[in-house]
């Protein structure tokens, strides 16, 4: 007792100093750690009294520390406790009893003879709307007739099921439902037997069926009873040797290795009879249109892709410093992944809005659906070999919002049906004047005659200009003299000071003549000319 008393005093002093407390964030010294271990050993041996929680109950010294220590998400007390291991009163709730389920059917006690406001317009029940009505659509609804009001369904209560109640697959099952199914099949079987018996009696009475055929029919009468004993496709059971022979493929199906005979196609494992990859991958076919796309096509479905994406996100987050793991912290990883996706979508939306705000173009994004743009339809139309419609309605020609094929001023063609020499016109009269009156073939003849006359006049002018060669030479001589004066004037201006140079006048701006252009080409200096240095000598 003296030793135990000493240990107790030592524990009291140690706790009063606040060195060995479980909730102290201080780092214990080696001496304090040794004293704590000795105290734990004494408590396990029974030489020291056990620790007491805030309720005055003893704490078993053999309980591991990870159970007795208070979790970080619970407000820890200043002394050890096991309160967090006991059921929390605030989290206890009353669950629904076993066998309690949603009420089905209609309320047969109340009979309604008048349509009520807010009820179903089809049948008149108050518990659903017209779009949710399961009754056959009436020609005239109960809202207008006021008769044939359907009874109301039972109001569905909110069940608060416990863990087992949520996972009970037979909760709410009505055994009478199965009994009704059994009775229905029994009635069908009885009707078949009665019909067959009447048929046999009629054939015997007429002499069409002899005794041997009757015995043969009686033997196969109950052949449907043993339909369950037929071997299922994929396995065969031998009752003599007590072994099961398994065939993993139905004989009518094509073998996997026969789908693509190319040796470079997907690998086929003969031991497991599996082909993971798509055998049509090297043929360029769409995986959604082939009959078999490999075993991985069905394997990578459902939540498999989502799990793979979550794993990839966990690896990327770990590389950037986030301590997350798919198996260790699934909830934390899921919340982090959701937060990341929300921020990513918000960033994309912000970036999109900033681009639209800076450059515009919102009207191009508000385009109609692709189905409306392509004008697709599922109407069946059958054509002949010459393109004529045999069955169905011919596809309507797409029209614009502007008027089309509108003929005015006696024209037989629209404006723009004729084009020549860079001008549009009417094909019926070759008129290039819009909204002019049609002159027909006579207008075409007159226009052709005018064109021939214009060409003759041009030829005469060319001949006349050819005889006036002397005039052209005189004009070229004057243009060369004027070009010499212009060059000398430009050189004199360039030698003056910039502040004393006169302004250039734009009063005489005009297009240069052919002689002036020729004189400029003849007088201009060419640096690449080897004789350019001898021009001034």
Would 113 be classed as within a structural domain?
yes
Note the pLDDT of residue 220: 52
Note the pLDDT of residue 284: 78
* Shared domain check, 82 and 36: yes
Please tell me the distance from the alpha carbon of residue 348 to that of residue 268, in angstroms, as a whole number: 44
Confidence of residue 34 (pLDDT cuts 50, 70, 90): very high
pLDDT in tens, 169-223: 888 888 888 999 999 999 999 999 999 999 998 888 887 665 555 555 555 555 5
Note the pLDDT of residue 144: 93
Would 127 be classed as within a structural domain?
yes
Q: Helices marked H in 255-377 — which ranges?
A: 295-299, 304-319, 330-359, 362-365, 370-374
What is the pLDDT averaged over residues 249-257? 80
- Chain centre to alpha carbon of residue 347: 20
Please tell me the distance from the alpha carbon of residue 230 to that of residue 237, in angstroms, as a whole number: 10
The answer to whether the CB of 121 falls within 8 A of the CB of 131 is: no
Q: Tell me phi and psi for residue 110, to 5 degrees.
A: -90, 135
* Shared domain check, 28 and 82: yes
Note the pLDDT of residue 239: 52
Would 149 be classed as within a structural domain?
yes
Whether the CA torsion 21, 25, 31, 36 is positive or negative: it is positive
Note the pLDDT of residue 101: 84
pLDDT in tens, 104-128: 888 888 888 899 999 999 999 999 9
Q: Which residue has the higher pLDDT, 184 or 474?
A: 184
Please tell me the distance from the alpha carbon of residue 323 to that of residue 329, in angstroms, as a whole number: 9
Q: Which residue has the higher pLDDT, 25 or 491?
A: 491
* Shared domain check, 481 and 439: no
Would 6 be classed as within a structural domain?
yes
Res. 514: pLDDT tops 60: yes
Bridging pattern class, strands 243-246 and 235-238:
antiparallel
pLDDT in tens, 404-460: 778 888 888 888 888 888 889 998 888 888 888 898 888 888 878 888 888 888 777
The answer to whether the CB of 443 falls within 8 A of the CB of 429 is: yes
Q: Quote the tokens at residue 477.
A: 């001589």
Among 331, 359, 387, identify where a domain stops: 359
Would 420 be classed as within a structural domain?
yes
Res. 152: pLDDT tops 60: yes
CB atoms within 10 A of CB 96: 15
Note the pLDDT of residue 166: 86
Would 461 be classed as within a structural domain?
no
CB atoms within 10 A of CB 241: 8
Note the pLDDT of residue 352: 92
Say whether pTM exceeds 0.85: no
What is the pLDDT averaged over residues 380-393? 84
**Average model confidence (pLDDT) for the chain?**
79
Please tell me the distance from the alpha carbon of residue 54 to that of residue 300, in angstroms, as a whole number: 55
Would 293 be classed as within a structural domain?
no
pLDDT in tens, 304-317: 888 889 999 999 99
What is the pLDDT averaged over residues 88-108? 78
Please tell me the distance from the alpha carbon of residue 27 to that of residue 177, in angstroms, as a whole number: 69
What is the pLDDT averaged over residues 481-500? 85
Confidence of residue 465 (pLDDT cuts 50, 70, 90): low
Note the pLDDT of residue 131: 93
Res. 340: pLDDT tops 90: yes
Would 81 be classed as within a structural domain?
yes
What is the total count of domains within the chain?
Answer: 5
User: Of 101-110, 127-136, 272-281, where does the model show the most confidence?
Assistant: 127-136
Note the pLDDT of residue 20: 41
> Could you list the residue range(s) of the whole structural domain that residue 141 is in?
109-154
Note the pLDDT of residue 233: 47
Please tell me the distance from the alpha carbon of residue 197 to that of residue 218, in angstroms, as a whole number: 11
Res. 98: pLDDT tops 70: yes
Q: Which residue has the higher pLDDT, 248 or 70?
A: 70
Res. 30: pLDDT tops 50: yes
């Amino acid at each position: 007792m003296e030793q135990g008393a000493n240990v107790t005093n030592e524990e009291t002093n140690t706790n009063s100093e606040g060195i060995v407390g479980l909730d102290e964030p201080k780092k214990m010294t080696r001496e304090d750690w040794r004293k704590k271990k000795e105290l734990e050993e004494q408590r396990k041996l029974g030489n020291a009294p056990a620790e007491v929680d805030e309720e005055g109950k003893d704490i078993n010294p053999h309980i591991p520390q990870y159970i007795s220590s208070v979790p970080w998400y619970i407000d820890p007390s200043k002394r050890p406790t096991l309160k967090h291991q006991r059921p929390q009163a605030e989290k206890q709730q009353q669950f629904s009893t076993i066998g309690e389920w949603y009420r089905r059917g209609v309320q047969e006690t109340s009979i309604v003879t008048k349509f009520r406001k807010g009820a179903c317009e089809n049948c008149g029940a108050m518990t659903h709307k017209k779009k949710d009505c399961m009754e056959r659509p009436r020609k005239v609804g109960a809202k207008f007739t006021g008769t044939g009001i359907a009874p109301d369904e039972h109001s569905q209560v909110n069940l608060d099921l416990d863990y087992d109640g949520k996972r009970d697959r037979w909760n709410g099952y009505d055994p009478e439902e199965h009994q009704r199914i059994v009775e229905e099949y029994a009635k069908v079987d009885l009707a078949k037997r009665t019909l067959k018996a009447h048929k046999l009696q009629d054939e015997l009475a007429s002499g069409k069926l002899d005794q041997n055929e009757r015995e043969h029919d009686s033997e196969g009468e109950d052949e449907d009873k043993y339909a369950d004993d037929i071997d299922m496709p994929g396995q065969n059971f031998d009752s003599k040797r007590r072994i099961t022979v398994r065939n993993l493929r139905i004989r009518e199906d094509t073998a996997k290795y026969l789908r693509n005979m190319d040796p470079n196609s997907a690998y086929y494992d003969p031991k497991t009879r599996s082909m993971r990859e798509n055998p049509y991958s090297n043929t360029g076919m769409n995986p959604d249109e082939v009959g078999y796309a490999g075993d991985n096509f069905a394997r990578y479905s459902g939540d498999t892709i989502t799990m793979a994406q979550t794993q990839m996100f966990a690896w990327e987050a770990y590389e950037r410093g986030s301590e997350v793991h798919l198996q260790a912290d699934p909830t934390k990883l899921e919340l982090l992944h959701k937060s990341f996706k929300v921020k990513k979508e918000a960033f994309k939306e912000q970036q999109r809005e900033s681009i639209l705000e800076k450059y515009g173009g919102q009207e191009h994004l508000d385009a109609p659906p692709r189905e409306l743009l392509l004008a697709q339809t599922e109407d069946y139309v059958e054509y002949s070999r010459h393109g004529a419609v045999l069955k169905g309605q011919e596809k309507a020609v797409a029209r614009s919002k502007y008027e089309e094929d509108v003929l005015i001023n006696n024209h037989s063609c629209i404006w723009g049906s004729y084009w020549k020499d860079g001008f549009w016109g009417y094909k019926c009269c070759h008129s290039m004047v819009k909204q002019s009156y049609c002159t027909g073939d006579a207008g075409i003849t007159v226009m052709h005659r005018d064109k021939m006359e214009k060409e003759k006049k041009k030829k005469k002018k060319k001949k006349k200009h050819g005889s006036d060669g002397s005039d052209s030479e005189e004009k070229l001589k004057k243009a060369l003299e004027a070009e010499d004066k212009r060059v000398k004037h430009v050189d004199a201006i360039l030698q003056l000071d910039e502040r004393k140079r006169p302004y250039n006048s734009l009063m005489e701006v005009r297009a240069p003549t052919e002689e002036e252009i020729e004189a400029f080409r003849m007088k201009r200096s060419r640096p690449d000319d080897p004789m350019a240095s001898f021009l001034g000598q």
